[in-house]
Amino acid sequence: MEKIGITEIEIYAIHLPLHEPFVISYASYDYLPSIIVKITTDTGHVGYGESVADDHVTGESWTGTFAVLKNTLAPKHLSLLEKIRKIWSVFMN
């Protein structure tokens, strides 16, 4: 099995417009504040994920979730992958 490595993580904070308002007990929304994550591998494969943070449901804000993903989780993940690649190359050579 071929190993695939993540080479890039892109994170976008967007307001996704809705065709009709999304109505729930505490609010009505014309858009959803979404976070899109795009991951690219060293083989050129691309994958996408989405998160919709909701202060009332999860206690997480849109801006806070974006900041944690962009400034902490993504960089740490890429840094860890680079360290693993370096260690792996020592053992394989």
CATH of the domain at 65: 3.30.390.10
- Residue 1 counted as domain residue: no
| Structural domain of 58 | 6-92
Pair 53, 21: CB distance under 8 Å: no
Residue 21 belongs to a domain: yes
Taking Cα atoms as reference points, which of 36, 38, 41 lies closest to residue 7? Answer: 41
What was the pLDDT predicted at 10? 92
3-state SS record for the chain: CCCCCEEEEEEEEEEEEEEEEEEECCEEEEEEEEEEEEEEECCCCEEEEEECCCCCCCCCCHHHHHHHHHHHHHHHHHHHHHHHHHHHHHHHC
> 63-86 pLDDT, tens per residue?
999 999 899 888 888 877 777 777
Segment 21-25 shows an average pLDDT of: 90
What is the pTM (predicted TM-score) of this model?
0.74
